[in-house]
Homo-oligomer: A and B are copies of this chain.
Amino acid sequence: MVPKVKRALLLIDVQQAFLHPKWGPRNNPQAEEEMLFVLNEWRRLGWEVIHIQHRSHHPGSVFHPSNDGFRFKEGFDPIPGETVLEKDVNSAFIGTGLEEHLRQLDVTEVVIAGLTTPHCISTSARMSGNLGFTTFVLSDATAAFDLVDPDGRTLDATLVHDVSLATLHGEFATVVKATDYVRALFPDNSGASLQCPLP
């Protein structure tokens, strides 16, 4: 018998703040589509969805609740039954009660999507793996912006994204595309999850 796995989808910082031009060039313009695809699959299956929302304490920040940037991106508003946890640092596990929430629900597998690959996604995936959760990061459902290194050189968003994912893969998490993750869940019906039994 296949052991029962309880999965949670962690959508991190899918907020309007990341539409601000100050972030500069970004890779993976289709990332939000992939996030929506997975979110919809999760909703159809009735599985646990956790929205992590970044809240800054600085009124000038694009993540301050007085600014539109605090709001979720279009299509990502939580629906009844879904959990919203606010954070004020990069890690979704610090100051949020997320670990306790997952343990209370007997979740053993955490699937991560959202923004951005090198910062909040990577930090949360590292902690998720180190805390003992089987962790997946959906490579095309996350994205990076250009970064500037300590010597002032600009590092391309795609390079930052790729190195961030390579660093996670096999050490903290399994890195897969969103469609490949869903297909692997339901190998017999190529992802037609509506026909699958609830866990």
Write the residues of chain A forming the contact surface with B, with a CB cutoff of 8 angstroms: 89-91, 94, 118-119, 122-123, 126-127, 129-131, 139, 147-150, 155, 159-160, 162-167, 169-172, 175-176
| A165 contact set on B, CB distance < 8 A | 149-150
A113→B91 CA distance, assembly (Å): 22
Q: How many copies does the complex hold?
A: 2
Asked whether A130 and B90 contact (CB < 8 A) given A149-B166, A150-B166, A160-B163, the answer is: yes
Which residue of chain B has the shortest Cβ distance to A137 in the bound complex?
Answer: B150
| A175 contact set on B, CB distance < 8 A | 150
Excluding A118-B163, A148-B170, 13 further A-B contacts by CB distance (< 8 Å) are A90-B126, A90-B172, A94-B127, A126-B126, A127-B127, A139-B150, A147-B167, A149-B166, A149-B169, A150-B176, A160-B167, A163-B164, A164-B167
Which residue of chain B has the shortest Cβ distance to A161 in the bound complex?
Answer: B163
A166→B145 CA distance, assembly (Å): 12
Which residue of chain B has the shortest Cβ distance to A118 in the bound complex?
Answer: B167
Decide: A130 and B126 in contact? CB cutoff 8 A. Answer: no
With both chains docked as a complex, state the minimum distance between the C-beta of A163 and any C-beta of chain B, in angstroms. Answer: 4
